[in-house]
A = this chain, B = another copy of it.
Amino acid sequence: MRLPVLALLAASLCAGQAAEEGKPASSNIMNAEYPKVFADLSVAFRLKAPEAQKVQVDIMAKKYDMTKGADGVWTVKIPPQVVGFHYYQFWVDVVSVPDPGSDTFFGVGRQFSGIEIPEAGVDYDVVKDVSHGQVRNFRYYSKTVSAWRRAFVYTPPDYDNNLKARYPVLYLQHGSGEDETGWPKQGRVDLILDNLIAGKQAVPMIIVMDKGYAMKPGEQPPQPPGPGRPFRFVFTTFEEVVTNDLIPAIDSTFRTLTDREHRAMAGLSMGGMQTFQITMAHLDKFAWIGGFSGSGGIGPGGPFDAKTAYNGVLADSAAFNKNVKLVWIGIGTEEPEMMYKGVHAFHEALTQVGIKHVYWESPGTAHEWLTWRRDLHEFAPLLFR
């Protein structure tokens, strides 16, 4: 494109010189002044829409009316928000509109605006003066779906220097409506691991992030779960992709440790359900399991029964506890009741039948990325010890 950005830059920076507290959100595109987050975590939004009759901002399941100024710019300052990463959108006369000032994040099945409400005094997920790993795009051919797929792979800081070393691998999945860009972008996976590894709080590891959707040629799209359609059936093709295509491709491309004691899987929400489905069916391949706001035992497949679930692998708890190094279940205290209850019930069911596991609650966070960043920050240090 030709030169419009120079003019844009000049315009936005001049506006920024007005004396006003509040800072542009870190999730904004370069030099965009709005949305702006204030010290008390209230947030100001603006959108130019001179001919619109009604404009609202839609964030954290609430819609706030915006007010039109003489210049055709609609503005609103909304009450303090909880810390975290929140998807949001504008509604302009009933049309959903992203914020041109926001970067875009793949969520809810499309590219969405998002805003980072920062958590004071917390720096485990920001760029610091430590050695940095790399997130790489990784293309591999999947025989299961007869197509090339792309995953992202985090390699730890010393990967390119310590050429004799081999590393354990964590397979890490996004949630429903998201894709393989979720953990690298919304999840800040590389910064969290860089900081943990620099502090010797986590073992250097490789992290593989694939897209949790897969269809064979001619296969019908997954049906929403319902009576007689538990998630088991929804994720079958993805399970085949992971076990038959992805793991062999990763192990033949990267310097991995390939035994089950050095392979973990975790995921958030839908990715957590996929994790339990896949790992429980392939305990020969995985010894470390994590569910972030999504675990086993959820879904409409009838009440969870530890004796029969997952083909009975939980029935002999002593054998399971000896075989599986870690089962980790996380949930945010502010998640929707159905989600919180479902995960908590699974935790209680496991306790009842004597399955060792870690149950962890993220205080004050909802079903969103700050919960999952914290999950990763708690979970990763326990792996491969």
Contact = CB atoms under 8 A, between A and B. Distances in A.
B139 A1 contact: no
A75 interface: no
A243 interface: no
A191 B197 CA distance: 32
Tell me how many chains of this kind the complex includes: 2
A93 interface: yes
Interface string A79-119: 00000000100001111111011111011111100000000
Given A1-B175, A5-B108, A160-B253, A127 B98 contact: no
Contact of A6 (B129, B148, B160, B234): B234
Contacts of A222: 6, 9-10
Interface stretch (A48-56, A259-267, A280-288, A312-320): A48-56
A2 interface: yes
A300 to B, nearest CB: 11
A123 to B, nearest CB: 13
A225 interface: yes
Contacts of A100: 96, 110-111
Contact of A95 (B92, B102, B367): B92
A8 B109 contact: yes
A37 interface: no
Contacts of A109: 4-5, 8-9, 29
A140 B10 CA distance: 27
B104 A127 contact: no
A50 to B, nearest CB: 6
Interface in A1-51: 1-10, 13, 29-32, 47-51
B136 A136 contact: yes
Nearest to A175: B1
A302 interface: no
A220 B12 CA distance: 12
* Tier of interface size on chain A: 35 or more
A141 to B, nearest CB: 7
Contact of A10 (B92, B96, B138, B221): B221
A8 to B, nearest CB: 4
A109 B107 CA distance: 22
A175 B179 CA distance: 27
A163 B126 CA distance: 32
Contacts of A367: 1-2
A269 interface: yes
A3 B176 CA distance: 6
Contact of A4 (B3, B47, B177): B177
A17 to B, nearest CB: 10
A210 to B, nearest CB: 13
Contact of A108 (B4, B108, B132, B175): B4
A146 to B, nearest CB: 12
20 contacts: A1-B108, A1-B176, A1-B178, A1-B367, A2-B176, A2-B269, A2-B339, A4-B108, A4-B109, A5-B176, A6-B234, A13-B221, A47-B95, A92-B92, A92-B97, A95-B97, A101-B110, A103-B111, A104-B104, A135-B137
**Nearest 9 pairs of A and B residues by beta carbon:** A5-B177, A5-B109, A134-B136, A104-B111, A13-B221, A51-B94, A104-B104, A6-B224, A8-B109
